[in-house]
Structure 1
Amino acid sequence: MWNHKELPRALRVSAIKKELVGPQAWRARKALDGGPCSPSAFKAMMDALKKADPKIFKIADKLIDRRPPPADPKPTAARQNWAYQRDAVTTALEIARLPKELFRSPSQLPERKEAPRSVFDSDKEMKSIEDVLVLRDSAIRDPDWQFVTDQLYPAKTFDNGATTLTVLLANKLELERQLGVDLIYVNETLNAVVFVQYKMLRGRDGEDGYRPDGQLQAEIERMDGAAKTLAECGVDESCDGYRFGTDPFFLKFCKKLLTHNDQGHVPGYYLPLSYWKKLVDTPEARGSRGGLIVYPETFGRRHFTPSAFVDMIARGWAGTTTLQTSVLIPYLAEIMRGKTGVVLAVETTRSLDESPEEEPEFAERIFVPPKPRHPGRKRKAIQL
């Protein structure tokens, strides 16, 4: 309630109930005793109020805002970028089990002369802005992350009890060039890292679908390169490293941008990258002319909702294993320090007494007799 007026005289609720007529009268009577009211029942209630007391009806009628709601925003590049950032921060807060009220940001890109570049533009602590986010939870206890607190860095920290979430607006070029993702979530509590690439379906409610292009293919190739490197870490047999699958990369297909009164997540569908590769090879991903295109109905029930995705990541059922996370954290830290040319790599070591699988052809075999267990004593000759 944003406004109120003093009535010229009192009006009994029973007087309004007597004037109620029509099929929605029973709902209106129930609402007058307390509770929600449907639009049709509210109309019946207002008609009854007009009959019971025209002067009071005139005052009440002026309190109703009949202005049409703003039109849905058109998905321009700037608005999409704003929506992706806002969705990423909201998702991170939910994964870390922090109240979403800690993050206050309008659902749509503010209309200003100079368009903001980040959802944190109004925060004085933010010194520089990019549109790729690295998010991590838990306290900063790893020395690789200590530089975040030691120097000025574009970071925003949310605290709630024992949980700390740090949002880093990282250098886009290096991360995008090597990983091909928009969001990196580092769950340090459970030693898992998850990568998300955002894509926007066309149309008011995604009805015009999404056509994969060369940009997505280039991003997938970068993800595949990173996945191939991470696979060299070996199999993590620990309970902490157990995951549902080996794919830490996800695509989120956004259905539409948030409208003026929406909050929370951008409506959309989460798909593992490995499943997406299978989906594009099916007839369901082909249009009427044979072109590659997907619609909301293409995913059917085979996708993760935002709530299911958040719960799965928060509990550590998806993402990189503990072995892979130990490799990723130093790599991410080096890039965020501004070092260019950093390459994700897994260092493999081999024991000195471990021989190669195949000996070279030119190697000469030399028999070295074993050392006697009892020097000076003549060995027994056993005849078979």
Structure 2
Amino acid sequence: MDMWNHKELPRALRVSAIKKELVGPQAWRARKALDGGPCSPSAFKAMMDALKKADPKIFKIADKLIDRRPPPADPKPTAARQNWAYQRDAVTTALEIARLPKELFRSPSQLPERKEAPRSVFDSDKEMKSIEDVLVLRDSAIRDPDWQFVTDQLYPAKTFDNGATTLTVLLANKLELERQLGVDLIYVNETLNAVVFVQYKMLRGRDGEDGYRPDGQLQAEIERMDGAAKTLAECGVDESCDGYRFGTDPFFLKFCKKLLTHNDQGHVPGYYLPLSYWKKLVDTPEARGSRGGLIVYPETFGRRHFTPSAFVDMIARGWAGATTLQTSVLIPYLAEIMRGKTGVVLAVETTRSLDESPEEEPEFAERIFVPPKPRHPGRKRKAIQL
């Protein structure tokens, strides 16, 4: 309805007069909505029919406020539109994690139709100097020396400020990050010393009803994540309260249900799953199609997933992600890559005193089996049948 097109009614009409004219199976929903709250399309139709009976003149005015033009068709998930949706969702998610107003980020929900399609949600921003696909996001004031180069704008960066909180969005070197980590979003929460990695995947169909079939690309990305996770595990166990996490998995997959429609805002609807849970899910019968192929649908996840709001709250409070020990290793590594240095390897340095020597494996003597001597030589053994 066009709520901004105000029209003065010829006379007042009581809500009770409309309720008296309500009939049909949706009358109870319409009656409930008239007391305040949302209204379904069928209940709204019953309400308008009742209004027409109660007062035709007022109905005529109200009927003109309804916009009956068909909405634009849902966008088809092309590669460019998906990339736009992933970037926009990543920035929106980062703003919410950092508790910054989403109004600071003004970007259309769909890829703008232009002669030359934009490659980034920051194309119109004059502060951005180059465009890549992968986002690295971090919050808090820049207090670590490894991040000081961001203030010089040597690399494409967009900063959002609100009070004492600063969120910096960096369009990073895609090749090196993708080669080593296999993720689309890296969120560095410097306030709580945690790092979270997210890989986006799109379900097929209008509302994800055609599912998602894991392919070789996902397998290669998972192998990169596993390599990074194995390296981070060498940091040891973080026994501090600040380093406590619900689990040891900082990697997540987000399966997007569909692209945002023309009037949608906020997150791309979807499901967040920890990578470790995804590995278990694909080994279950629920992840198999009618012909035995590997495929997942929205109903495959059931209630075992994080909603965008739950994911944001969990990350914002530091309950998931890399530990403080792992974050101290990750920040210099990410900073080196964003400085343009190639061949940077994620590694954990371990030290050992000179007095220590690797323990030698004990030598085990080979055991030879010697059968016992018979008690009565030459006598045939008695067979007992059970």
Normalised by the length of structure 1, the TM-score is: 0.85
Q: 1:57 aligns with which of 56, 59, 75?
A: 59
Partner-residue secondary structure (3-state), 2:340: coil
1:65-104 equivalent positions in 2, closer than 5 A: 65-104=67-106
Instruction: Describe the shift of the 1:377–1:210 C-alpha distance in structure 2 as closer, same or farther (beyond 3 A).
Output: closer
SS state at 2:353 partner:
coil
Shift of 1:219: 0.5
Cα-to-partner distance string for 1:126-169 (whole Å, 9 max, x where unaligned)? 12111111010110000000000023431111112211111111
CA distance in 1, matches of 2:332, 2:385: 63
Larger displacement relative to structure 2 (44-53 or 303-312): 44-53
Q: Deviations over 1:259-289 (max 9, x none)?
A: 2222221111111111111211222211111
Say which is worse superposed, 275-284 or 58-67, in terms of deviation.
58-67
Following TM superposition, by how much is the alpha carbon of 1:56 offset from its aligned partner in structure 2, in angstroms? 5.8
Once the 2 structures are TM-superposed, how far is the Cα of residue 358 of structure 1 from its aligned partner? 3.2
Q: CA deviation at 1:5?
A: 4.6
List gaps (5 residues or longer) in structure 2: none
Q: Residue 232 of structure 1 aligns to a residue in which SS?
A: helix
Relative to 1, partners in 2 of residues 1:383 and 1:263: Cα closer, same or farther, differing over 3 Å?
A: closer
CA spacing shift, 1:360–1:156, aligned 2, 3 Å: same
Structure-2 change in CA distance of 1:33 and 1:361 (3 Å): closer
Which deviates more, 306-315 or 59-68?
59-68
Which of 202-211 and 300-309 deviates more? 300-309
Secondary structure class of the residue paired with 1:64:
coil
1:106 CA drift (Å): 1.6
Once residues 304 and 4 of structure 2 are traced to their aligned partners in structure 1, the CA distance between those partners, rounded to angstroms, is 43
- Cα distance between partner residues in 2 of 1:366 and 1:54: 104
Range moving further from structure 2, 73-82 or 37-46: 37-46
- Residues 372 and 113 (structure 1), Cα distance of their counterparts in 2 relative to 1, 3 Å cut: farther
Offset at residue 76 of structure 1 (A): 0.8
| Residues 97-140 of structure 1 deviation map (CA, whole Å, 9 limit, x = unaligned) | 12222222222112222211111122221121111110101100
Out of 175, 178, 183, the position equivalent to 1:176 is 178
Contact residue 201 and residue 253 of structure 2 kept, 8 A:
yes
What is aligned with 1:368? 370
Name the stretch that deviates more: 259-268 or 186-195: 259-268
Distance change >3 Å, CA 375–CA 352, structure 1 → 2: farther
Superposed CA offset, 1:158-206 (max 9, x none): 1122111111111111100111000000011111111010111111111
Query: CA offset at residue 13 of structure 1?
Result: 7.9
What is the distance in 2 between the residues matched to 1:61 and 1:130? 49
Q: Distance in 2 between matches of 1:370 and 1:143?
A: 74
Distance 1:373 1:192, change over 3 A: farther
The alignment covers a number of residue pairs equal to 384
User: Deviation of residue 360 (structure 1)?
Assistant: 13
Relative distance call for 1:130 and 1:9 in structure 2 (3 A) is same
Deviations 1:303-339 (CA, angstroms, capped at 9, x unpaired):
1111221111111111111111111101100111111
TM-score by length of 2: 0.84
Take 1:214 and 1:17, find their aligned partners in 2: how far apart are those partners?
Answer: 59
- 1:63 Cα shift? 2.9
Question: For the Cα contact (< 8 Å) 2:142–2:148, is it kept in 1?
Answer: yes
Report SS of the residue matched to 2:235.
coil
Alpha-carbon RMSD across the aligned residues, in angstroms, is: 11.9
| Offset at residue 48 of structure 1 (A) | 5.8
Contact 2:155 2:338 in 1 (8 A): no
Residue from 270, 276, 279 that aligns with 2:278: 276
What CA distance in whole angstroms lies between the structure 1 residues aligned with 2:373 and 2:334?
52
For the 8 Å contact 2:127–2:156, the answer to whether it is kept is yes
Whole-Å separation in 1 of the counterparts to 2:291 and 2:336? 47
Q: CA deviation at 1:3?
A: 2.3
Q: Give the distance between the partners of 1:369 and 1:159, measured in 2 at CA.
A: 82
Shift of 1:87: 1.1
Moved more, 361-370 or 16-25: 361-370
Residue 94 (structure 1) shift: 1.3
Q: CA deviation at 1:51?
A: 6.0
The match for 1:131 is 133
